[in-house]
Amino acid sequence: MTDSRSTTQDLDTPRRRGRPRRDPADAEARTRLIRSGLIHLTERGYSAIGVDEVLRHSGVPKGSFYHYFPSKEAFGLALVDAYHAYFVEMLDGALTGTSLPPLDRMCLFIDRASEGMARHGYRRGCLVGNLGQEMSALPESFRARLIAVFDDWQERTARCLELAREQGQIASSSDSAALAQFFWIGWEGAILRAKLEQGPAPIHAFTDLFFKLLEGEPNR
């Protein structure tokens, strides 16, 4: 494939009368490509998936891909953004969308995320974590984008943990930002291991230890 199929219109050319062109970003075909890409990348990763495979799965004509994305790299970055938006909705729904005590909100997020993995037979992991594992083979543009996503998730989690500190659920000396960073480092490892083992045991092992740490129990 080449990028020569661009449909960009010369700005000096008068538009024909009639219904305005639909924004490509709103096109149903683009949505199908994003959905298919998310499925493939959470299961198999970026390097193992070709554009043709995504096109076949999505049912989008081969010649249409570059109408929406100038390259596979641009497609991959769009998938990161789409996954981030989806995940933030789930994360905020648990951490800020309820009246539960802060640590119970953390448990709610963990339960919902774990249920999502179980629903797909532990075949799908975290797209951002998967791409982080592949970083040595990815375009460099992915690095900053992935780090920014992790930083955003950590900041949202830190706000919840700070509320837990203010309400006395965790020690007043707790560093909410450091705990949030620790959570996401451990969580991503647990998700990777759960996908490998095709079961929830790694998630339970990590989260049980994380909450014991918050309770101030010694780490044995």
45 located within any domain: no
**Percent of the chain scored above 70 by pLDDT?**
86
Number of domains in the chain: 1
Mean pLDDT across 123-131: 93
133 located within any domain: yes
pLDDT per residue as tens digits for the range 57-79: 888 887 778 888 899 999 999 99
Based on the number of CB atoms within 10 Å of its own CB, is 196 exposed (0-12), middle (13-18) or buried (19 or more)? exposed
Q: With CA atoms as reference, report the closest residue to 106 among 73, 145, 98, 81.
A: 98
Q: In this structure, what CATH number is given to the domain that contains residue 121?
A: 1.10.357.10
H helices of 96-139, in order, are: 102-119, 127-133
pLDDT per residue as tens digits for the range 145-183: 999 999 999 999 999 999 999 999 999 999 999 999 999
Top-confidence residue, 42 or 14: 42
28 located within any domain: no
pLDDT at position 8 over 90: no
12 located within any domain: no
Q: What is the pLDDT of residue 5?
A: 38
In the block, which residue shows the tokens 């953390």? 106
The answer to which of 57-71, 110-124, 150-164, 186-200 has the lowest mean pLDDT is 57-71
48 located within any domain: no
155 located within any domain: yes
Q: What is the pLDDT of residue 23?
A: 53
CA gap 58, 11 in Å, rounded: 32
Q: Helix, strand, or coil here: 40?
A: helix
pTM, full prediction: 0.82
Which residues neighbour 52 within 8 Å (Cβ) at sequence distance 6 or greater? 62
Range of the domain at 139: 72-215
